[in-house]
């Protein structure tokens, strides 16, 4: 795949970039190693000052970087601004809380006395250069939620971003440089996917984090495993959205629309499978379909647009294949089901797909097992909570889940039984810096954000004293 900015709203190639050569990659890896040797000794106050400076610059740049993101991957510009603002908040959150999150852990003296220790504690130390292989769907947020905690922990970052968002990737390197981070602390590698293995195997790279597809995750995890390097993987999702009789159905249906089409439907944590109790199925389905039909599809640069184009022509083709397979095997199209009409000649070459609702889904359909990365929802009717949970868990993925109920017993059972990295009640799944984010099953392993995220790329070092030095320094 070429490294290029191609506007998905009209298919126009705006800029192309040459991939780094071996000598240039070597220079960047050496710069990362050199930067880490000094940066690892910096204090939390110094790091926080740098990260807060980056947050301030990003806040000033929100309008421009939002338009860049929209141009490169097609999300509505209002959503791009919101993404950038979220990154600002996450940077400031980690600048404020990193020191307490990485504070030494000290067991009670009596718990280590029988081990012969006068005292002992655990200190979190940075690992080194972390390679981040990141996707295009949230081109700023996906990077910042790795970079902010990694940099605050004293690590340095190497970003291999998706090949269709090169300008966003270069912006990020420039942002941290302008904020005053030492040279080599955060670098963008404009390389294709074929270069990842050699970079990851390089001894100057300590660990890797990947957000993306299951095949990409398998590839990176395989190489990292062979090199015995730590990885965090956040892969696909096919999140269930359960609606039970006690729910506020009108609010659930409104939220369901947003949950399905956020980011033009191209989000791992977007709700994709809507599992509704028979008692409220008809009401929910009617409200949900009306909401999906009423969405404005069009130019993502327009403030009135709710759904822009898919990020690539191949992405739309993949979505069309899933829908065609389902319809060919008996699924019913309740709305949408194809390319929207009436967008005008300036957008006729764009990669748009109409918000779609399918029902009559069976286990033999690909869409029942595969992730739909676009504005297509599948709607199921169930007779009770047990059937709803069973259907929700009937997926290779387990990223997050949504449950709409006001029944306390149903809440307890869903927390206990849903196979997912998160259970969100009466609201839409979202990531937040104060809460760990990640999944189970084929949605990956490890956690980003919160304390788990900042400690993911640290060496938990046990420090043990058999006797006290003359001037012990901790």
Q: Check residue 310 and give left, alpha or beta (phi > 0: left; psi -120 to 50: alpha).
A: beta
Those residues with Cβ within 8 angstroms of residue 49's Cβ, 6 or more apart along the chain or in another chain: 95, 180
Exactly one of 72, 234, 410, 448 is catalytic; which is it?
234
268 is catalytic: yes
Q: Between the CA of residue 100 and those of 94, 124, 157, what are the distances in Å?
A: 10, 11, 22
234 is catalytic: yes
76 in Cβ contact with 308 (< 8 Å): yes
Exactly one of 87, 185, 268, 414 is catalytic; which is it?
268
CA 91 to chain centre: 16
CA gap 130, 57 in Å, rounded: 24
Name beta bridge partners: 465.
Answer: 119
CA angle, 232 then 141 then 312, to 5°:
95
Q: Check residue 336 and give left, alpha or beta (phi > 0: left; psi -120 to 50: alpha).
A: left
314 in Cβ contact with 359 (< 8 Å): no
Sheet of strand 186-188, all strands in order from the earlier edge strand to the far edge: 186-188, 156-160, 129-133, 205-211, 230-234, 444-445
Catalytic residues: 234, 268
């Amino acid at each position: 795949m070429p490294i290029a900015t191609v506007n998905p709203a009209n298919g126009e190639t705006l800029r192309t970039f040459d991939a780094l050569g071996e000598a240039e990659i070597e220079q960047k890896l050496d710069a990362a190693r050199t930067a880490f040797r000094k940066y690892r000794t910096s204090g939390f106050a110094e790091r926080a000052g740098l990260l807060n400076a980056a947050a301030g610059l990003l806040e000033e740049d929100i309008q421009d970087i939002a338009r860049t993101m929209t141009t490169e991957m097609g999300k509505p510009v209002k959503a791009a601004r919101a993404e950038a603002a979220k990154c600002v908040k996450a940077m400031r959150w980690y600048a404020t809380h990193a020191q307490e999150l990485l504070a030494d852990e000290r067991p009670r003296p009596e718990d280590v006395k029988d081990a012969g220790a006068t005292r002992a504690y655990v200190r979190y130390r940075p690992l080194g250069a972390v390679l981040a292989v990141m996707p295009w769907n949230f081109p700023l947020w996906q990077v910042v939620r790795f970079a902010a905690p990694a940099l605050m922990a004293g690590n340095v970052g190497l970003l291999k971003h998706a090949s269709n968002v090169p300008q966003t990737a270069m912006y990020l390197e420039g942002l941290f440089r302008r904020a005053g981070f030492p040279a080599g602390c955060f670098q963008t590698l404009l390389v294709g996917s074929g270069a990842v293995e050699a970079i990851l195997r390089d001894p100057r790279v300590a660990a890797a984090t990947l957000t993306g597809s299951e095949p990409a995750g398998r590839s990176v995890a395989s190489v990292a495993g062979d090199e015995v390097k730590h990885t965090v993987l956040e892969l696909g999702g096919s999140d269930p959205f359960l609606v039970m009789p006690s729910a506020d159905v009108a609010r659930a249906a409104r939220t369901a629309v947003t949950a399905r089409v956020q980011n033009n439907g191209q989000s791992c944590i977007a709700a994709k499978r809507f599992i509704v109790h028979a008692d409220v199925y008809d009401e929910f389905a009617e409200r949900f379909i009306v909401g999906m039909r009423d969405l404005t599809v069009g130019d993502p640069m327009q403030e009135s647009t709710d759904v822009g184009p898919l990020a690539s022509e191949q992405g739309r083709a993949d979505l069309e294949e899933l829908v065609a397979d389902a319809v060919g095997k008996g699924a019913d199209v309740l709305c949408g089901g194809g390319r929207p009409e009436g967008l005008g000649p300036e957008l006729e070459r764009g990669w748009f797909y109409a918000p779609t609702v399918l029902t009559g889904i069976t286990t033999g359909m690909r869409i029942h097992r595969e992730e739909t990365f676009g504005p297509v929802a599948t709607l199921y009717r169930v007779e009770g909570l047990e059937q709803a949970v069973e259907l929700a868990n009937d997926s290779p993925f387990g990223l997050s889940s949504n449950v709409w109920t006001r029944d306390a017993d149903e809440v307890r059972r869903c927390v206990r039984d849903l196979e997912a990295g998160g259970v969100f009640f009466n609201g839409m799944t979202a990531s937040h810096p104060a809460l760990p984010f990640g999944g189970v099953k084929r949605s990956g392993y490890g956690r980003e954000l919160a304390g788990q995220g900042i400690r993911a790329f640290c060496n938990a070092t046990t420090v043990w004293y058999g006797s006290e030095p003359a001037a012990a320094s901790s």
